Structure formats: structure tokens, C-alpha cells
Amino acid sequence: MNEITTELKSHFLRLYQMAFSDDNFDVLEMQMLYKFAEERKVSRKELDTILLSPYHDSSIPNSLELKIEYLYDLAVMIWADEKVTNDEITTLKKYCSKFGFLEENLNELTDFLIENAKRSTSKTELLKQLID
């Protein structure tokens, strides 16, 4: 098994939690979770181990780029079933706040992330829009 950082384990657990935040865990959300793992070179077995042993120290990314990337993954997870619930938005805002974004910017940031998830914007393009 590859050494998976606490930060990445935390991210997968946040994604898993997001999938359940609307009380309607959809198979598309699970497929999205495995896709995110594959993008990060984490095997299905490794992801299953993380999800079945969820007691890990929690870690929040340090860099702005990684914070945005992880929050965008959450937005993509929300949009996986093409429905956005109030519970999912509340959960996304909670994570934006945990990641250090200011309260007064949370509505705009979550709207931006969800709208880009709906458009299937690439992470590279999303980061260019926000950081450049």
C-alpha cells in the first residue's frame, strides 16, 4: 500500500461525508469518490480501507491551491446526482470556513464552486479563474 498522507485521508473522508449529507447516498457519488481516488493514484482497496477505518487525525491543506482543489472536489461530489440540497450547501460552507475562508465570502465561494461543478470546469481552469 502506498503511504497516503493524513491530509489526503481527511479529504476522502470529507468527500464521503458530503455524499451522505443529503441523506440520499447515490451510486454516482460513490463512483465519483473512486474517480477522485484514481486521479490521486489511490487504489480502490486503499480507499475502501480509509472509508472503513475512518478514525484518522484530521488535516486541512495548507496551500490555497490545494484548499480550492479539495473544496471543488466537494462541489463536484454535490453535483454528481445533479441535485443540490440545502444540507449539501451547508456542509460545503462548513468546510470552506474550516479551510480558513472568511464568513462574508462563503456564499459567493460556494456558489462559484457549484456553478463550475455544473459546467464541469477543469481544476486547472478553476484555479486560473480564482488565483490569476
pLDDT in tens, 69-95: 999 999 999 998 898 999 899 999 999
pLDDT at 96 over 70: yes
Mean pLDDT in the chain?
Answer: 89
The Cα 31–Cα 47 span in angstroms is 12
pLDDT at 101 over 80: yes
pLDDT at 100 over 90: yes
Kindly compute the dihedral angle of the four CA atoms of residues 97, 77, 91, 67, in this order, to the nearest 10 degrees: -10
HEC string for the chain = CCCCCHHHHHHHHHHHHHHHCCCCCCHHHHHHHHHHHHHCCCCHHHHHHHHHCCCCCCCCCCCHHHHHHHHHHHHHHHHCCCCCCHHHHHHHHHHHHHCCCCHHHHHHHHHHHHHHHHCCCCHHHHHHHHHC
pLDDT in tens, 32-67: 899 999 999 999 999 999 888 866 677 888 999 999
pLDDT at 119 over 60: yes
